[in-house]
């Protein structure tokens, strides 16, 4: 059973479109995250949710809107996609803020 699963694995779309990435964890964790990995492989936090509440918003453009319908899910919706949004997006979860974080396999987003 996959602990943290993201869909889709690949997303190819055109500039200006709106798209969503879904994330689900079956670990019973309270905290979920979105990270972005750029073309130079640098990984950076975007958002953190704890029990469906937004804890961290790391100066991400408001075209990015996370939504947590319950503590097992954290989806990422992106409006008006731009070329610079091309990256790999990772979802992660942890029991609390100091416990280890477990990552999904990533979603590779390519903007044409």
Partner 1 sequence: GIQVEQSPPDLILQEGANSTLRCNFSDSVNNLQWFHQNPWGQLINLFYIPSGTKQNGRLSATTVATERYSLLYISSSQTTDSGVYFCAGNTGFQKLVFGTGTRLLVSP
Q: How far is the CB of 84 from partner 1 (least distance, A)?
A: 19
Q: What are phi and psi of 37, to 5 degrees?
A: -115, 120
Q: What is the nearest approach in angstroms of partner 1 to the Cβ of residue 92? A: 8
Q: How many Cα atoms are found within 13 Å in the side-chain-facing hemisphere of 98?
A: 0
CB of 106 to partner 1, least distance (A): 5
What CA–CA distance (Å, rounded) separates 68 from 52? 5
Segment lying near partner 1 (by CB under 8 A), choices 19-27, 60-68, 72-80, 86-94: 86-94
Q: Are 32 and 48 in contact (CB under 8 A)?
A: yes
| 87 vs 9: CA distance, rounded Å | 12
User: Of residues 5, 73, 86, 103, which one binds partner 1 by CB under 8 A?
Assistant: 103
Residues that bind partner 1 (CB under 8 A): 31, 33, 35, 41-45, 48, 50, 55-56, 58, 88, 90, 92, 97-103, 105-106, 108
């Amino acid at each position: 059973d996959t602990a943290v699963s993201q869909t889709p694995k690949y997303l190819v779309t055109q500039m200006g479109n709106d798209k969503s990435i879904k994330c689900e964890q079956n670990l019973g964790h309270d905290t979920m995250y979105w990270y972005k990995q750029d073309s130079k492989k640098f990984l950076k936090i975007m958002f953190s949710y704890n029990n469906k509440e937004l804890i961290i918003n790391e100066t991400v453009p408001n075209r990015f809107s996370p939504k947590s319908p319950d503590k097992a899910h954290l989806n990422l919706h992106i409006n008006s996609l731009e070329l610079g949004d091309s990256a790999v997006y990772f979802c992660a979860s942890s029991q609390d803020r100091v416990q280890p974080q477990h990552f999904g396999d990533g979603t590779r987003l390519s903007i044409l």
